[in-house]
Protein backbone atom coordinates (compact mmCIF):
# COMPACT_ATOMS: atom_id res chain seq x y z
CA UNK A 1 0.00 0.00 0.00
CA UNK A 2 2.85 2.43 0.85
CA UNK A 3 4.45 1.83 -2.54
CA UNK A 4 1.12 2.47 -4.23
CA UNK A 5 0.64 5.76 -2.36
CA UNK A 6 4.18 7.01 -3.04
CA UNK A 7 3.84 6.16 -6.72
CA UNK A 8 0.46 7.92 -6.89
CA UNK A 9 1.97 11.09 -5.37
CA UNK A 10 4.87 11.08 -7.82
CA UNK A 11 2.52 10.52 -10.76
CA UNK A 12 0.26 13.35 -9.56
CA UNK A 13 3.20 15.77 -9.37
CA UNK A 14 4.49 14.79 -12.82
CA UNK A 15 1.01 14.99 -14.35
CA UNK A 16 0.35 18.42 -12.84
CA UNK A 17 3.69 19.73 -14.11
CA UNK A 18 3.13 18.44 -17.64
CA UNK A 19 -0.48 19.63 -17.92
CA UNK A 20 0.28 23.11 -16.58
CA UNK A 21 3.59 23.97 -18.20
CA UNK A 22 4.50 21.66 -21.09
CA UNK A 23 4.17 23.22 -24.58
CA UNK A 24 1.31 21.67 -26.54
CA UNK A 25 3.55 19.68 -28.89
CA UNK A 26 5.53 18.32 -25.94
CA UNK A 27 2.26 17.38 -24.24
CA UNK A 28 1.11 15.61 -27.41
CA UNK A 29 4.46 13.83 -27.60
CA UNK A 30 4.08 12.54 -24.05
CA UNK A 31 0.59 11.32 -24.89
CA UNK A 32 2.07 9.45 -27.86
CA UNK A 33 4.70 7.80 -25.63
CA UNK A 34 1.95 6.69 -23.23
CA UNK A 35 -0.04 5.27 -26.15
CA UNK A 36 3.05 3.38 -27.37
CA UNK A 37 3.53 1.85 -23.90
CA UNK A 38 -0.16 0.95 -23.75
CA UNK A 39 -0.05 -0.66 -27.19
CA UNK A 40 2.98 -2.72 -26.14
CA UNK A 41 1.13 -4.01 -23.08
CA UNK A 42 -2.09 -4.66 -24.99
CA UNK A 43 -0.44 -6.72 -27.72
CA UNK A 44 1.86 -8.51 -25.29
CA UNK A 45 -1.30 -9.54 -23.43
CA UNK A 46 -3.46 -10.48 -26.42
CA UNK A 47 -0.86 -11.85 -28.85
CA UNK A 48 1.88 -13.22 -26.56
CA UNK A 49 3.32 -15.71 -29.06
CA UNK A 50 2.79 -13.77 -32.29
CA UNK A 51 5.78 -11.42 -32.66
CA UNK A 52 4.88 -10.27 -36.18
CA UNK A 53 1.33 -9.40 -35.18
CA UNK A 54 2.55 -7.56 -32.08
CA UNK A 55 5.09 -5.45 -33.95
CA UNK A 56 2.74 -4.52 -36.79
CA UNK A 57 -0.06 -3.68 -34.34
CA UNK A 58 2.19 -1.45 -32.23
CA UNK A 59 3.61 0.36 -35.27
CA UNK A 60 0.19 0.82 -36.85
CA UNK A 61 -1.22 2.15 -33.58
CA UNK A 62 1.66 4.60 -33.09
CA UNK A 63 1.40 5.95 -36.63
CA UNK A 64 -2.37 6.32 -36.36
CA UNK A 65 -2.10 8.08 -33.00
CA UNK A 66 0.64 10.39 -34.27
CA UNK A 67 -1.45 11.48 -37.25
CA UNK A 68 -4.38 12.21 -34.93
CA UNK A 69 -2.22 14.22 -32.54
CA UNK A 70 -0.08 16.17 -35.00
CA UNK A 71 -2.14 16.13 -38.23
CA UNK A 72 -5.59 16.21 -36.69
CA UNK A 73 -6.96 18.77 -39.15
CA UNK A 74 -6.00 16.76 -42.24
CA UNK A 75 -7.23 13.57 -43.89
CA UNK A 76 -4.13 11.70 -42.69
CA UNK A 77 -5.82 9.74 -39.84
CA UNK A 78 -8.48 8.19 -42.11
CA UNK A 79 -5.82 7.40 -44.72
CA UNK A 80 -3.64 5.71 -42.09
CA UNK A 81 -6.44 3.57 -40.67
CA UNK A 82 -7.64 2.40 -44.11
CA UNK A 83 -4.28 1.91 -45.79
CA UNK A 84 -2.92 0.36 -42.59
CA UNK A 85 -5.69 -2.24 -42.55
CA UNK A 86 -4.98 -3.11 -46.16
CA UNK A 87 -1.23 -3.41 -45.55
CA UNK A 88 -1.71 -5.46 -42.38
CA UNK A 89 -3.98 -7.89 -44.21
CA UNK A 90 -1.38 -8.29 -46.98
CA UNK A 91 1.41 -8.89 -44.47
CA UNK A 92 -0.60 -11.48 -42.55
CA UNK A 93 -1.67 -13.21 -45.75
CA UNK A 94 1.92 -13.43 -46.93
CA UNK A 95 3.40 -14.67 -43.63
CA UNK A 96 0.60 -16.93 -42.41
CA UNK A 97 1.72 -20.53 -41.89
CA UNK A 98 -1.86 -21.55 -41.13
CA UNK A 99 -5.10 -19.80 -41.90
CA UNK A 100 -6.76 -20.84 -38.66
CA UNK A 101 -7.18 -17.85 -36.35
CA UNK A 102 -6.00 -15.26 -38.87
CA UNK A 103 -9.29 -13.35 -38.83
CA UNK A 104 -9.37 -13.22 -35.02
CA UNK A 105 -5.76 -11.98 -34.92
CA UNK A 106 -6.54 -9.26 -37.46
CA UNK A 107 -9.55 -8.31 -35.33
CA UNK A 108 -7.41 -8.14 -32.18
CA UNK A 109 -4.88 -5.95 -34.02
CA UNK A 110 -7.58 -3.54 -35.18
CA UNK A 111 -9.14 -3.54 -31.69
CA UNK A 112 -5.84 -2.53 -30.09
CA UNK A 113 -5.24 0.27 -32.60
CA UNK A 114 -8.71 1.75 -32.10
CA UNK A 115 -9.00 1.03 -28.36
CA UNK A 116 -5.90 3.10 -27.56
CA UNK A 117 -4.95 4.91 -30.74
CA UNK A 118 -8.35 6.49 -31.34
CA UNK A 119 -9.15 7.39 -27.71
CA UNK A 120 -6.09 8.63 -25.84
CA UNK A 121 -5.24 11.36 -28.42
CA UNK A 122 -8.39 13.14 -27.23
CA UNK A 123 -6.45 14.21 -24.15
CA UNK A 124 -4.21 16.19 -26.50
CA UNK A 125 -7.24 17.67 -28.28
CA UNK A 126 -8.74 18.56 -24.91
CA UNK A 127 -5.62 20.30 -23.66
CA UNK A 128 -5.54 22.49 -26.79
CA UNK A 129 -9.10 23.80 -26.21
CA UNK A 130 -10.02 27.02 -24.36
CA UNK A 131 -9.85 26.17 -20.63
CA UNK A 132 -8.10 23.00 -21.81
CA UNK A 133 -5.89 22.62 -18.74
CA UNK A 134 -8.89 22.80 -16.43
CA UNK A 135 -10.78 20.28 -18.57
CA UNK A 136 -7.85 17.85 -18.51
CA UNK A 137 -7.59 18.17 -14.74
CA UNK A 138 -11.34 17.63 -14.42
CA UNK A 139 -11.16 14.40 -16.36
CA UNK A 140 -8.13 13.11 -14.44
CA UNK A 141 -9.35 14.21 -10.99
CA UNK A 142 -12.85 12.84 -11.52
CA UNK A 143 -11.58 9.45 -12.73
CA UNK A 144 -8.98 9.21 -9.94
CA UNK A 145 -11.32 10.20 -7.10
CA UNK A 146 -14.07 8.00 -8.50
CA UNK A 147 -11.72 5.02 -8.25
CA UNK A 148 -10.49 6.06 -4.79
CA UNK A 149 -13.98 6.58 -3.31
CA UNK A 150 -15.18 3.32 -4.81
CA UNK A 151 -12.21 1.37 -3.44
CA UNK A 152 -12.48 2.68 0.13
CA UNK A 153 -16.29 2.44 0.26
CA UNK A 154 -16.21 -1.06 -1.14
CA UNK A 155 -13.63 -2.22 1.40
CA UNK A 156 -15.25 -0.43 4.35
CA UNK A 157 -18.87 -1.40 3.67
CA UNK A 158 -18.71 -4.35 1.28
CA UNK A 159 -22.07 -5.65 0.10
CA UNK A 160 -23.33 -6.99 -3.19
CA UNK A 161 -20.79 -7.46 -5.96
CA UNK A 162 -21.20 -5.13 -8.91
CA UNK A 163 -19.53 -7.25 -11.61
CA UNK A 164 -18.52 -10.53 -9.94
CA UNK A 165 -17.32 -12.26 -13.10
CA UNK A 166 -15.27 -9.41 -14.55
CA UNK A 167 -14.03 -7.71 -11.36
CA UNK A 168 -14.86 -9.63 -8.16
CA UNK A 169 -13.67 -6.85 -5.80
CA UNK A 170 -16.07 -4.17 -7.06
CA UNK A 171 -19.29 -3.65 -5.09
CA UNK A 172 -22.54 -1.80 -5.72
CA UNK A 173 -21.78 0.48 -2.76
CA UNK A 174 -18.37 1.23 -4.22
CA UNK A 175 -19.90 2.01 -7.61
CA UNK A 176 -22.33 4.48 -6.01
CA UNK A 177 -19.56 6.07 -3.94
CA UNK A 178 -17.58 6.51 -7.13
CA UNK A 179 -20.13 9.03 -8.36
CA UNK A 180 -19.49 11.15 -5.27
CA UNK A 181 -15.75 10.98 -5.90
CA UNK A 182 -16.19 11.95 -9.53
CA UNK A 183 -18.39 14.92 -8.63
CA UNK A 184 -15.88 15.99 -5.98
CA UNK A 185 -13.03 15.87 -8.51
CA UNK A 186 -14.84 18.07 -11.04
CA UNK A 187 -16.00 20.51 -8.35
CA UNK A 188 -12.52 20.88 -6.81
CA UNK A 189 -11.02 21.70 -10.21
CA UNK A 190 -13.83 24.20 -10.84
CA UNK A 191 -13.04 25.99 -7.57
CA UNK A 192 -9.32 26.13 -8.30
CA UNK A 193 -9.24 26.76 -12.03
CA UNK A 194 -12.61 27.60 -13.60
CA UNK A 195 -15.04 29.25 -11.21
CA UNK A 196 -17.20 30.57 -14.06
CA UNK A 197 -18.24 27.05 -15.07
CA UNK A 198 -21.98 26.65 -14.24
CA UNK A 199 -22.73 24.04 -11.60
CA UNK A 200 -25.05 22.21 -14.02
CA UNK A 201 -22.04 21.32 -16.15
CA UNK A 202 -20.15 20.19 -13.04
CA UNK A 203 -23.05 17.87 -12.24
CA UNK A 204 -23.29 16.45 -15.78
CA UNK A 205 -19.55 15.95 -16.24
CA UNK A 206 -19.14 14.46 -12.78
CA UNK A 207 -22.00 11.99 -13.13
CA UNK A 208 -20.95 10.98 -16.64
CA UNK A 209 -17.35 10.30 -15.62
CA UNK A 210 -18.65 8.47 -12.55
CA UNK A 211 -20.17 5.98 -14.99
CA UNK A 212 -17.65 6.04 -17.88
CA UNK A 213 -14.57 5.64 -15.67
CA UNK A 214 -15.64 2.40 -13.95
CA UNK A 215 -16.88 1.00 -17.26
CA UNK A 216 -13.46 1.65 -18.79
CA UNK A 217 -11.92 -0.16 -15.83
CA UNK A 218 -14.25 -3.13 -16.34
CA UNK A 219 -13.51 -3.25 -20.07
CA UNK A 220 -9.79 -3.64 -19.39
CA UNK A 221 -10.58 -6.21 -16.69
CA UNK A 222 -12.57 -8.12 -19.30
CA UNK A 223 -9.45 -8.37 -21.48
CA UNK A 224 -7.28 -9.48 -18.55
CA UNK A 225 -9.78 -12.10 -17.41
CA UNK A 226 -9.84 -13.53 -20.93
CA UNK A 227 -6.06 -14.03 -20.77
CA UNK A 228 -5.97 -14.99 -17.05
CA UNK A 229 -3.67 -12.23 -15.82
CA UNK A 230 -4.06 -9.85 -12.88
CA UNK A 231 -2.16 -6.86 -14.29
CA UNK A 232 -1.33 -5.73 -17.82
CA UNK A 233 2.29 -5.11 -16.76
CA UNK A 234 4.53 -4.12 -13.84
CA UNK A 235 6.14 -0.89 -15.03
CA UNK A 236 4.38 1.28 -12.39
CA UNK A 237 5.27 0.17 -8.83
CA UNK A 238 2.17 -0.69 -6.84
CA UNK A 239 -0.16 -0.03 -9.76
CA UNK A 240 0.72 -2.68 -12.36
CA UNK A 241 1.00 -1.60 -15.98
CA UNK A 242 0.22 1.49 -18.01
CA UNK A 243 -3.19 0.09 -18.99
CA UNK A 244 -3.99 -0.66 -15.35
CA UNK A 245 -3.38 2.99 -14.49
CA UNK A 246 -5.15 4.46 -17.54
CA UNK A 247 -8.08 2.08 -18.05
CA UNK A 248 -10.62 4.37 -16.39
CA UNK A 249 -9.49 7.35 -18.48
CA UNK A 250 -9.45 5.79 -21.94
CA UNK A 251 -13.04 6.79 -22.70
CA UNK A 252 -13.18 9.78 -20.33
CA UNK A 253 -11.00 11.92 -22.60
CA UNK A 254 -13.26 11.58 -25.66
CA UNK A 255 -16.37 12.26 -23.56
CA UNK A 256 -15.00 15.43 -21.93
CA UNK A 257 -13.73 16.69 -25.31
CA UNK A 258 -17.04 16.23 -27.11
CA UNK A 259 -19.03 17.57 -24.18
CA UNK A 260 -16.84 20.66 -24.01
CA UNK A 261 -17.00 21.12 -27.77
CA UNK A 262 -20.78 20.95 -28.03
CA UNK A 263 -22.05 22.05 -24.60
CA UNK A 264 -19.47 24.55 -23.38
pLDDT digits (tens, 9 = 90+) for 193-229: 999 999 999 999 999 999 999 999 999 988 888 888 8
The torsion of the CA quartet 103, 106, 110, 115, rounded to 10 degrees, works out to 80
pLDDT band at 112 (very low <50, low <70, confident <90, very high): very high
Q: Which pLDDT score is estimated for 51?
A: 86
| Residue 80 Cα distances to 37, 232, 254, angstroms | 20, 27, 20
Q: Which pLDDT score is estimated for 6?
A: 82
pTM of the entire predicted model: 0.93
Q: Which pLDDT score is estimated for 233?
A: 75
The region of weakest confidence among 29-43, 94-108, 124-138, 139-153 is 94-108
Rounded to the nearest 5 degrees, what angle is found at the Cα of 16, between the Cα atoms of 224 and 247? 15
Q: pLDDT per residue over 29-80, tens digit each? A: 999 999 999 999 999 999 988 888 899 999 999 999 999 999 888 888 889 9
Q: Where are the alpha helices (DSSP H) in 22-50?
A: 24-46
Amino acid sequence: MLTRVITAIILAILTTTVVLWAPQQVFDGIILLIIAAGLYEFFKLTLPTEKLYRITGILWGIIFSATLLFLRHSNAPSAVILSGLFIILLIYMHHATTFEGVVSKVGITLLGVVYLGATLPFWGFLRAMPHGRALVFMGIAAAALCDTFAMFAGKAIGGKKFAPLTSPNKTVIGFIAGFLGSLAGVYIVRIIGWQELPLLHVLIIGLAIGFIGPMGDLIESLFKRDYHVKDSGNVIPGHGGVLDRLDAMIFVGPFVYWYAKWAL
